[in-house]
Amino acid sequence: MKKLLFVPAVALLLTGCYEQERNCADFKTGKFRSEVEINGKKNVTEFTRDEKFEIATYEGKTDTASVRWINDCEFVLEKVNPKSAAEKKGVHMKILTTKGNSYTFEFSLVGDTQKQKGTVTKLD
């Protein structure tokens, strides 16, 4: 019985001490490519982000959003010129892990509990 309890306890200790890499500050500015899968379709967006704005191109359309950093790993995007009430809602972005020149993130509309995930690669 003691052996049965020992194995899960050791596994918990080993995984509990493991920390994911999170060098979020490396991704505050630059040129990027985002990949998000929605309903089985891969959506690719290229964007440039500086301290205050993000300019994104998706399916030939370009949009500008303001960037408000909450902390080093979280920020809110708000469209500069929203065309509808739905576009006025901000998008909360959270960098979950970083590795080399890429990061994994989750996002949702501000106040929404349903989150989606994607990856971003820094191009420059």
Per-residue pLDDT tens for 55-77?
999 999 999 999 999 999 999 99
Q: Which of helix, strand or coil describes residue 103?
A: strand
User: Quick check: 112 pLDDT over 70?
Assistant: yes
Average the pLDDT over 98-124 and give the result.
95
Per mean pLDDT, which range of 17-21, 89-93, 109-113 is the poorest? 17-21
User: CB of 34 within 8 A of CB of 103?
Assistant: no
Per mean pLDDT, which range of 10-19, 68-77, 94-103 is the poorest? 10-19
- Across the chain, mean pLDDT equals 88
User: CB of 57 within 8 A of CB of 76?
Assistant: no
Q: Predicted confidence band at 17 (pLDDT cuts at 50, 70, 90)?
A: low
Give pTM, 2 decimals.
0.81
d(CA 87, CA 78) in angstroms, rounded, equals 8
d(CA 16, CA 2) in angstroms, rounded, equals 21
DSSP 8-state code for residue 6: H
Q: Where are the domains of the chain?
A: 20-122
Q: Predicted confidence band at 4 (pLDDT cuts at 50, 70, 90)?
A: very low
Average the pLDDT over 96-123 and give the result.
95
Domain 20-122 sits in CATH at: 2.40.128
Average the pLDDT over 69-97 and give the result.
94
User: Quick check: 118 pLDDT over 60?
Assistant: yes
Q: What is the DSSP code string of 55-99?
A: EEEETTEEEEEEEEEEETTEEEEEESS-SSHHHHS-EEEEEEEEE
